[in-house]
Amino acid sequence: MWRCTVCGYLHEGDTPPELCPLCHATADKFELVEPVVRSHSFVSMFREEFRQLRETFAPHAVSAHFPAALIPTCVLFLLITEVCGYLPLEFAAFALLVVIVISIPLTMLTGFFLWNKNYHRARSAIFKKKIVLAWALFLVALATLIWRLVTPDLLINGGAGAAFYLLLNLMMLVCVTLLGHYGGMLISAKRKQR
């Protein structure tokens, strides 16, 4: 196989074509490439799939979805508890909060590695915002969890305590939404570069 180094056109044969049919590059612009042997055994397909996965796996994108998905669900459960007084949902929200608090440091860590590897720890405004928001999110989530552990019936008791507890959860929602927004901005900027 011969590949046009200008446009990537693939030509099968012993010699390269005189002119690339796509971009009209001359024969000297072609390079010899090994034909890809397509083996269809299950093991080789699995191996190829695994190789691709290892090369393209994005730990930060994956881990960021845990707090991003669980925080809105947590807020929704708390609001339903407030409106309907259905207590099992308050406990479900508490269980979600535990997973949220565990997943945030993991997401911060994968984010740090990505920032280090792909952006050489650039200190532009977008990264500063992401770091500040991530720390704010983690500290608010941790404080909320500790408060709920110390005072299990704070939502049931109502009043200012319950309102402030809901407010803390809403603050987490704002932080995670903005973090997702800036993450999306970085991804689309990276795409435009290509």
Which residues are at the interface with Zn ion (CB under 5 A)?
4, 6-7, 9, 20, 22-23, 25
* In the complex, minimum distance from the CB of residue 12 to Zn ion, in angstroms, rounded to a whole number: 15
Nearest to Zn ion of 3, 129 (CB atom) = 3
* In the complex, minimum distance from the CB of residue 15 to Zn ion, in angstroms, rounded to a whole number: 16
100 neighbors 67 (Cβ within 8 angstroms): yes
* In the complex, minimum distance from the CB of residue 5 to Zn ion, in angstroms, rounded to a whole number: 8
Nearest Cα residue to 96 out of 108, 80, 115: 80
Nearest to Zn ion of 24, 128 (CB atom) = 24
Report the C-alpha gap between 192 and 175 in whole angstroms. 26
DSSP-derived secondary structure for 89-127: HHHHHHHHHHHHHHHHHHHHHHHHHHHHHHHTT---HHH
DSSP state of 28: G
* In the complex, minimum distance from the CB of residue 37 to Zn ion, in angstroms, rounded to a whole number: 24
Nearest to Zn ion of 7, 187 (CB atom) = 7
Nearest to Zn ion of 30, 115 (CB atom) = 30
